[in-house]
Chain A
Amino acid sequence: MIEVKNLSKHYGDKIAVNDISFTANDGEILGFLGPNGAGKSTTMNMLTGYISSTDGQALINGIDILENPMKAKKEIGYLPELPPLYLDMTVKEYLCFICDLKKCKLPRNTHLADICKLVKIENVYNRIIKNLSKGYRQRVGLAQALVGNPKVLILDEPTVGLDPNQIIEIRSLIKKLGKSHTVILSSHILSEVQAVCDRIIVINQGSIVANDTEENLSKSLSQEHKLVAQIEGPTDDIIKTVSTIRGVKTIEKSKNLSDSLCEYLIETDEKTDVRRELFNRIAARNWYLLGLKSSELSLEDIFLKLTIGENVNINKKSKGGN
């Protein structure tokens, strides 16, 4: 478990991280999302004790990282942005060194074999790290973080430089690890956070702008309820008919799909569910309702909205169940 209380980091006048607080529970995968330079890596460096905080407190399983660093650091496996690899060593030498460094008491050979199997680096085990590709180096970095079975894993952009297959493997590995560990993962790849994380923290210019599950974020940010409907029929009549339904605020044509088939954007008030009535009216006029979905915000939209305050066009980026 990680508790962060009012953590700040100043570099001279520049405020890198400004008064952030959050908690990551056991068995939870927390996604750290933000544009470049938002303070993700700085926060992670503070959590792992690499740099100190200007203000505030970070507790790793209840141990303060600044007050009792030796004990707190034992609980953490850290994969920094750039895997900290000694290029002149072989993977085996390097992992043995990490075992020594972390004073890992587990039976070395079986422990390292397990880790190598987990991150799939058995076939490069005796090679010099200098000669490995970016993807393999990243995995050796991940292996390094797993040495000693730390309870807390802090992973800074763990899938950078991997090919799509490896990304999927590493993501499922992280998900698996997330069941027994506390995982904090940073990324600027939205789909990754979406696929892996239980909870998302969006950070921008050093401050937390959102901290919730993806569904809740999406709900809280899309104030208006909007529906996207594909209806076949005469456009003007459809607009006239639909706008008389109780609860419909506005309707406008957003797209021409074919001669008579168009996509409409319907804005409704929050309380009324207009979908049944909409179906009945259209069926009664012998038009065809070919598609109907509510347009919730996707993570991309949330991200844009939170980090640049941009008004997102929900027509184009719509998502959600029919």
Chain B
Amino acid sequence: MGAIFRRELLAYFTTPIGYIFLALFYAGAGLFFNMTALSSGSTDMAYIFTLLIYVLLVVIPILTMRTLSEEKNQKTDQCLLTAPVSLGGLVMGKFLAAFVIFLLAVSITVVYAVVVSAFAAPDWTVVIGNILGFMLLGSAFISIGIFVSSLTENQIVSAIISFAAMLLCYLLSAIAQLIPVEWISKVISNLSFVDRYTGFTYGLFDLSNVLFFISATAVFLYLTVRVLEKRRWS
């Protein structure tokens, strides 16, 4: 796992992917920070994080599109799968590397909070809640992206499908409202990423929401392992 984690991390910066991801994220975050906080002179940072979901929908597929699809395409998976490494370790190494890059991106919001605090004290619980919620949402999205990239050999297909899948997760609460049958609607809205994330933007720390995102991450990473396993057995 350690070896794969280190290699992945290095690969994000020997290929343009890491730079593109960080540049896009910083640009989006900077734009929203300027719009919501700087130009209107507000210390309310919750709004930035609500808007950052849109950035996330676009940039996470870029971050994860090549994780497993490129291995398959370049046949380098032969090297990983014939080495004494467990599939779980392999997937976890990939996930952690992507997550570290994501943390690098998120850390910019800490800078924003510090900038804001120079003018007036922001509501720190809201800021911390937001950052935590954003990290959890990001980890769930990353695991979805890795899962999708395990399904295809083509990076572009992987990126597009991950985008669609994350969009679907994002729209679940809207979809739930369209369904007339109450219990189905309720089940779907319980799975809604946005509803659960919105709680954090208010500064509410709800353990069930935390567990929801951690479970979503675990489920998709587990499914990724199963996909790799199945490929060997097909």
Contacts and interface: CB of A to CB of B under 8 A. Distances in A.
Nearest to A77: B82
A82 B2 contact: no
Interface in A85-112: 85-89, 93, 97-98, 100-103
Given A49-B81, A52-B232, A86 B76 contact: yes
B79 A144 contact: yes
Nearest to A81: B75
Residue of B4, B75, B79, B81 ringed by the most chain A CB atoms within 10 A? B79
Contacts of A139: none
A283 interface: no
B79 A98 contact: yes
Interface in A26-74: 45, 48-52, 69-71, 73-74
Interface string B98-119: 0000000000000000000000
Contacts of B40: none
Given A88-B11, A97-B7, A100-B2, A74 B84 contact: yes
Contacts of A52: 232-233
Given A82-B75, A88-B15, A97-B3, A50 B81 contact: yes
Contacts of A50: 78, 81-82, 232
Main secondary structure, interface of B, reads helix
Given A51-B232, A70-B84, A100-B2, A84 B10 contact: no
B234 interface: yes
Nearest to A45: B78
B208 interface: no
A266 B14 CA distance: 69
Given A88-B11, A88-B14, A101 B232 contact: no
A178 interface: no
A152 B6 CA distance: 28
Contacts of B211: none
B14 A89 contact: yes
A73 B82 contact: yes
B86 A101 contact: no
A78 B82 contact: yes
Interface in B67-101: 74-86
A80 interface: yes
Interface of B: 2-4, 6-7, 10-11, 14-15, 74-86, 232-234
20 contacts: A50-B82, A51-B232, A51-B233, A52-B232, A74-B84, A76-B82, A78-B82, A80-B78, A82-B75, A84-B77, A84-B79, A86-B74, A93-B10, A98-B79, A100-B2, A100-B3, A100-B6, A101-B3, A103-B84, A144-B79
Interface of A: 11, 45, 48-52, 69-71, 73-74, 76, 78, 80, 82, 84-89, 93, 97-98, 100-103, 144
